[in-house]
A and B are shown apart, each in its own frame.
Chain A
């Protein structure tokens, strides 16, 4: 069935370094992907999205890369800050656009 998975369950980075969070998806027909950030006690917060007709999209300090050939998605965070510490979920919008399929999440810990 459809699923989205993450390669690394935990990631620790030094403050100021760049972070890269990876994600694999299984459905090659999916065409919309989203990264969410979830801080403790809060709901997931939209970070950035990308559609399958693009391979890169940039936001403020964040970049999402999509490699459809190997069904891989990554989130790059530049100059990681303590406030970036959270669980990051990649998500795939189902083919019928009716639900978001979440991966298991990666916990990012920023070391001051």
Chain B
């Protein structure tokens, strides 16, 4: 069974640009979660999508947004990139809310 896959592995952008990160959940999982792992700050919850709807979001500005497609894959979009957006962005999936989340290996976003 394939795990959670994320693309691209690395992404380099400059300030003010927009970034799109992609995630494919484990087959059969309907929930997708996004986390930011910045150096020294641990994992911070960003967004949760389930059945195509945004169910919850963490304490991040509106320029962080996303969506979930009918096949349950998901995109994270970050607009007006700032230097402090440089981080590892992790996607996780689960088959329902009270089951463990399984993570992909992340997208490393670097802002120059």
Contact B45 A100, beta carbon cutoff 8 Å: yes
Q: List chain B residues, Cβ under 8 A from A46.
A: 100-103
Q: List chain B residues, Cβ under 8 A from A97.
A: 97-98
Q: How far is the CB of A105 from chain B (nearest CB, A)?
A: 6
Main SS class of interface, B: strand
Contact B56 A99, beta carbon cutoff 8 Å: yes
Tell me how many residues of A have a C-beta within 8 Å of chain B: 22
Q: How far is the CB of A94 from chain B (nearest CB, A)?
A: 8
Q: List chain A residues, Cβ under 8 A from B35.
A: 100, 102
Complex: A36 Cα to B106 Cα, angstroms = 15
A34 is an interface residue with CB less than 8 A from chain B: yes
Closest to B96 in A: A97
Assuming A99-B33, A99-B48, A100-B33, is B98 touching A42 (CB within 8 A)? no
Contact A98 B103, beta carbon cutoff 8 Å: no
Q: List chain A residues, Cβ under 8 A from B4.
A: 43
Q: How far is the CB of B50 from chain A (nearest CB, A)?
A: 8
Which residue of B42, B56, B105 is within 8 Å of A98 (Cβ)? B56
B90 is an interface residue with CB less than 8 A from chain A: yes
Give the interface size bracket for B toward A: 20 to 34
Q: How far is the CB of A108 from chain B (nearest CB, A)?
A: 16
Contact B45 A99, beta carbon cutoff 8 Å: yes
Contact B103 A43, beta carbon cutoff 8 Å: yes
Complex: A42 Cα to B104 Cα, angstroms = 8
B63 is an interface residue with CB less than 8 A from chain A: no
8 additional contacts, CB 8 Å, given A45-B103, A46-B103, A99-B45? A43-B104, A46-B102, A98-B55, A99-B48, A100-B92, A102-B35, A103-B42, A104-B42
Sample 23 A-B pairs with CB under 8 A, ordered by A number. Answer: A32-B98, A34-B101, A42-B105, A42-B106, A43-B92, A43-B105, A43-B106, A44-B43, A44-B103, A46-B101, A46-B103, A49-B100, A89-B42, A96-B56, A96-B97, A97-B98, A98-B55, A99-B48, A100-B35, A102-B35, A102-B42, A103-B42, A105-B42
Closest 5 CB pairs of A and B: A97-B97, A43-B103, A99-B45, A102-B43, A98-B56
